[in-house]
């Protein structure tokens, strides 16, 4: 563990920091000394998929890996909104309107290219030194700054109202929960992510990743 990267397929209902802590514990036990371990970009607890874990001297390159483009597959529910943009938030009914596939694809086209996003308050972004999600959970009002991101492409894999499944290739810093919510606002239906999976980071693919069980860790 002088310095390497590990491709990990993160399970659902676990934080990215939890993944790092478990990997650190196992590698440190095997090495007989504390091994430095870090991540190169978080995934939401409800999300699954590819994480690049860095160890040892490779930790100094974490930021380089974090800036790479990513590919996600997301399942989106139309007609409702979530306070967190995912199943863990408070869900409210918005509309019974049923957009056609052509209407959905047109809106996704509007959200392609360089776009402005306002990340969700329930995110790991730091606001005045504190994680935004911690402030939001405390009931504090969080003003999230907008950011410019690039959505290279979004394709519809499946659509049968109210469920929409997409595959999207995006720049680093793009929030798929926000992409879903913005699409719902334009459609007038509301929308939130029910499932999210990161399938690729640059040329690395989740098919080549190891599961936590490969390290003797229970998912």
> What pTM value is reported for the model?
0.90
Q: Are residues 142 and 156 in the same domain?
A: yes
Annotated active-site residue 219? The verdict is no
pLDDT in tens, 176-189: 999 999 999 999 99
CATH of the domain at 59: 3.30.2350.10
Write out pLDDT tens, residues 122-145: 666 666 666 666 655 656 666 667
Nearest-angstrom CA–CA distance, 68 and 40: 10
Average pLDDT rounded to a whole number, residues 200-210:
97
Strand partners, 97: none
| Number of structural domains in the chain | 2
Marked catalytic residue, from 44, 86, 182, 208: 44
State whether 22 and 91 are in the same domain.
no
- Please give the residue that has the higher pLDDT: either 1 or 134: 134
The secondary structure of 15-51 as a DSSP string is -HHHHHHHHHHHHHHHHTS---EEESS---TT-EEEE
Q: How many CA atoms lie within 13 A of 124 on its CB side?
A: 12
- pLDDT above 70 as % of the chain: 88
Residues 147 and 96 in one domain: yes
CA dist 181 and 193 (Å) reads 8
* Predicted local distance difference test score (pLDDT) of residue 130: 66
More confident residue, 152 or 31: 152
Query: Does 39 share its domain with 98?
Result: no
Residue 25 is part of which domain span? 3-67+203-215
Both 187 and 117 in a single domain?
yes
Alpha-carbon gap, residue 93 to 162, rounded angstroms: 12
> Do 95 and 35 belong together in one domain?
no
């Amino acid at each position: 563990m002088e310095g390497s990267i590990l491709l990990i397929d993160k399970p659902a209902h676990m934080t990215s920091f939890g993944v790092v802590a478990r990997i650190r514990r196992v590698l440190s036990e095997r090495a007989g000394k504390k091994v430095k371990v870090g991540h190169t970009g978080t995934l939401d607890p409800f999300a699954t998929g590819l994480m690049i874990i860095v160890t040892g001297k490779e930790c100094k390159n974490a930021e380089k890996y974090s800036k790479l483009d990513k590919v996600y597959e997301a399942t989106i529910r139309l007609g409702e909104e979530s306070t967190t943009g995912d199943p863990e938030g408070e869900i409210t009914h918005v509309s019974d309107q049923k957009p056609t596939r052509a209407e959905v694809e047109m809106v996704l086209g509007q959200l392609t290219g360089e776009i402005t996003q306002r990340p969700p308050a329930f995110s790991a972004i730091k606001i005045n030194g504190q994680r935004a999600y911690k402030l939001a959970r405390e009931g504090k009002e969080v003003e999230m700054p907008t950011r410019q991101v690039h959505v290279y492409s979004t394709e519809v894999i499946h659509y049968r109202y109210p469920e929409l499944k997409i595959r999207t290739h995006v720049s680093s810093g793009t929030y798929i929960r926000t992409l879903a919510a913005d699409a719902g606002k334009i459609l007038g239906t509301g929308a939130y992510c029910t499932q999210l999976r990161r399938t690729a980071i640059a040329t690395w693919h989740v098919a080549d990743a190891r599961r936590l069980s490969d390290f003797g860790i229970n998912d």
